[in-house]
Structure 1
């Protein structure tokens, strides 16, 4: 039982791009005898190396390993569509050919089809947008129900909804990593990623943007060392300019270093600006530039500072707060220049900031994160107690009504055997988060919700339980739905930005 989150970026280790069913010439509804017979036929025809055939068969026969293969199969397709799915397009197939063919499949198969070709070459922004749109259109419940029916016909135990959700998250993450790795060199991904990011941000569809953020997260990891090198190149150029401010070649070297840095980082800067948050490491170069501007202006090198400012605006123009601060710096520099041209000492109170110390939206996000940590601390304390006991915390409005049965916070981990108290938490919290998710608005809400969802997934995504415990708790969820919705409203009400707004959002019931 997992809650979808924009921050879930840990693939399971299985390869959803593999095609075990296709290799053996069967579908997910094949029974165990049919699978064994298919393996024998494949061995006779030698369609693949023995090791590949054995591994394909073993993964299909193992309930814990077959899900990635099922998710890579064109589920719900007619036989002719299955053949079309596995047929190879010509090597020179255009993006239009790929998209036209992929449009004939359901969203999950469309995502698999596009990823197959995108993972072979550095792909265009058009295919990137199509891949993200396909993943965003996948309905986990539909996939779960389809797999239930297929496994029933094949005589296999059905997967859990949690495992299907986790499998879909793994599929998305695997596609993202494979697509980014296909760019050679990886920095060539920057331009199509920037174009795709601009297109998706223009839609203002937050779920689509959050799905795209996982693709950018894979890119962020892939360019980590290159970004660090680019930071160093900017720093070296700044040092050279500080030492030789009159040297025209120094400003040219800084301009080149800033251009390389911005070209590499702009897709990430654009998304971070939209979400109101950024990786602190992305502030290294902006901070250094603000420091350089302060140093040059203090030494009365106003024209050189103006040149640095112009290049900085080109580099940081996609960050609204940075552009605004640079505009402020420009006005300060102009005042300093006007005073110097008239032989007047500049106003001692008029100074260019010597450092950026993080853009404003980063500071806001850090405050929100601190408030969120405090909130989580309160909630953990609350959920760890026997809820049948009286309980009150001054900072939590309207303490929850006592419940007859305890609800305990499970330990972090997977594959554990949960007692009824732990199972109760997992299902009660799933219902609370379902309601909270309906009320998510804006970047602060998104970060807060994702923090709760990530904590939930770390405890409840994979566990063993007694069937009677599960049935009992499911009945409780139905009976206590109003109370759980009230719990969700309390969670929303203690988010500081909601309190500052004067009231918590209303919670609708379904």
Structure 2
């Protein structure tokens, strides 16, 4: 992997020749007079430009500024290990050579050593893991005691324990930013970061995972614009496929856009899934594909819809909620494809053959299509509003103020639900109660049961805070009319109904 050209000039904590103590030929135990003498010698030998020497001496002579330079120095290493730390490895040194050398250092020195070489060469997943593990192994109190002893010998006041801890956090952040910035092109960071993320999550060591999250955050900030462009590519490809659903090249363009989107997002999505976090920005593209699937099914382009679904299942496999929803759609779509393979689906406005055997196939396929459209209509209703995903099936005009977030809970039992999940369960319970009152005939029953089964898989058994449940129950009462309107919208998507279903103006409690 190449070094990003913009990062060829390394920060002082990463470039040994620019490390202030090393540049002046001293260590952190040097007194003020020893620093001045070292400065004079460095000027005489012209080891560095005058400006660099002046800046280095100013830093180490300032009790506050010198802390970061102390922490980037191998201060927790013995003198012979300090020399080893500054011995340059060859540019073609293997990861094995780097890791073997780094194993001889104490954690702080090891972290600095690994960061220096990771920035120079572009880090493999092994180097990324080793860097985070080294930072996680640093004992703050041991480092503080070393600093106290060094400053005492040098005649400097010791830093506070809090400032020293802040300094270690700053060092970790600086390492993460520099390591991510060294990849060229930036998207080449995705694969090694994904592998290191998997490795770290497999350890199940909470402190290590938390330390690694800072590396992921640096990656998130660095490729935010790139991920936004990938989302736009998916949007453009989706629009092209809507206009020409039978074009194989359009499907291929969408597949490529989804693959790029997935590769850029996957390290972040993997960590989010482990932490049970839902990133609203990550839901935009899956929802866009749900919209596309709905349009393709309305156009009866079931084969193309299946191709899109196949690519979506791969792209969104790291988003548990989206993956589960796509899998549910896939089951119905497969039934539609099977049913439609034995009989040509008739337009609902055209006469259907009275032959009983063919009619059964047509009716089965039509029912499957209707159920799929109902499900898609519900799934695409989850949208990002003020940092949460809100359910809304009301008309888009006039604009409504953002509601309290309502999140679709994951499938399962015995889980502890935040208020957003409790809100979905109580709101959906009320919607289904109203829908049930309007169920007529076998098609309605099957569609209702599909919704009820999905609800039960998520909301039949969960733990909650009493205060959350109390507030949500109040919201159900306050939003009764809106929830009834939601129910009416669900009913309106049942396309086998020949008449518009009215929403009841009153309902029994």
Per the TM superposition, whether the score is higher than 0.5 is yes
Deviation at 1:319, TM superposition (A): 2.1
**Aligned equivalent of 1:346:** 366
3-state SS, counterpart of residue 307 of structure 2: helix
Q: Deviations over 1:429-488 (max 9, x none)?
A: xxxxxxxxxxxxx9999xxxxxxxxxxxxxxxxxxxxxxxxxxxxxxxxxxxxxxxxxxx
Deviation at 1:498, TM superposition (A): 7.0
Distance 1:174 1:356 in 2: 41
Tell me whether 1:251 sits opposite 2:251 in the alignment. yes
Distance 1:252 1:137 in 2: 46
Tell me whether 1:117 sits opposite 2:117 in the alignment. yes
* Contact 2:183 2:189 (C-alpha < 8 Å) held by counterparts: yes
Tell me whether 1:214 sits opposite 2:214 in the alignment. yes
Distance 1:249 1:127 in 2: 40
Which consecutive unaligned segments of at least 5 residues does structure 1 have?
A: 1-13, 372-441, 446-495, 502-510
Q: Deviations over 1:407-435 (max 9, x none)?
A: xxxxxxxxxxxxxxxxxxxxxxxxxxxxx
Distance 2:179 2:333 in 1: 45
Deviation at 1:273, TM superposition (A): 1.0
**Aligned equivalent of 1:96:** 96
Distance 1:214 1:356 in 2: 33
* Contact 2:383 2:389 (C-alpha < 8 Å) held by counterparts: no
**Aligned equivalent of 1:228:** 228
Tell me whether 1:142 sits opposite 2:154 in the alignment. no
Deviation at 1:353, TM superposition (A): 1.3
Q: Deviations over 1:257-282 (max 9, x none)?
A: 11111111111111111111143222
Distance 1:365 1:150, change over 3 A: farther
* Contact 1:291 1:356 (C-alpha < 8 Å) held by counterparts: no
Larger radius of gyration: 2
Distance 1:42 1:228 in 2: 49
Moved more, 129-138 or 350-359: 350-359
Distance 1:278 1:46 in 2: 56
Deviation at 1:356, TM superposition (A): 6.4
Distance 1:335 1:140, change over 3 A: same
**Aligned equivalent of 1:481:** none
Match of residue 357, structure 1, among 382, 386, 407:
382
Distance 1:34 1:132, change over 3 A: same
Q: Deviations over 1:334-369 (max 9, x none)?
A: 23334434222522444241416269xx96999xxx
**Aligned equivalent of 2:21:** 21
Deviation at 1:200, TM superposition (A): 0.7
Which consecutive unaligned segments of at least 5 residues does structure 2 have?
A: 1-10, 342-360, 392-403, 406-414, 419-462, 469-509
**Aligned equivalent of 1:77:** 77
Distance 2:251 2:63 in 1: 62
Distance 2:260 2:135 in 1: 32
Within a 5 Å distance, the mapping from 1:53-64 to structure 2 comes to 53-64=53-64
Q: Deviations over 1:296-341 (max 9, x none)?
A: 1122211111100000011111222222111101012123334434
**Aligned equivalent of 1:107:** 107
Distance 1:62 1:310, change over 3 A: same
Distance 2:466 2:20 in 1: 53
Deviation at 1:248, TM superposition (A): 1.3
Considering Cα pairs closer than 8 Å and 6+ residues apart, tell me whether 1 or 2 has the greater RCO: 1
TM-score normalised by structure 2 residue count: 0.67
Tell me whether 1:46 sits opposite 2:65 in the alignment. no
Q: Deviations over 1:213-245 (max 9, x none)?
A: 111111111111111111010000000111111
TM-score normalised by structure 1 residue count: 0.67
Tell me whether 1:186 sits opposite 2:186 in the alignment. yes
3-state SS, counterpart of residue 158 of structure 1: coil
* Contact 1:19 1:73 (C-alpha < 8 Å) held by counterparts: yes
Deviation at 1:289, TM superposition (A): 0.8
Distance 1:443 1:45, change over 3 A: farther
* Contact 2:416 2:464 (C-alpha < 8 Å) held by counterparts: no
Distance 2:104 2:466 in 1: 48
Deviation at 1:177, TM superposition (A): 0.6
Name the Cα RMSD after superposition.
2.7
Distance 1:179 1:272 in 2: 21
Tell me whether 1:239 sits opposite 2:239 in the alignment. yes
Distance 1:20 1:278, change over 3 A: farther
3-state SS, counterpart of residue 376 of structure 2: coil
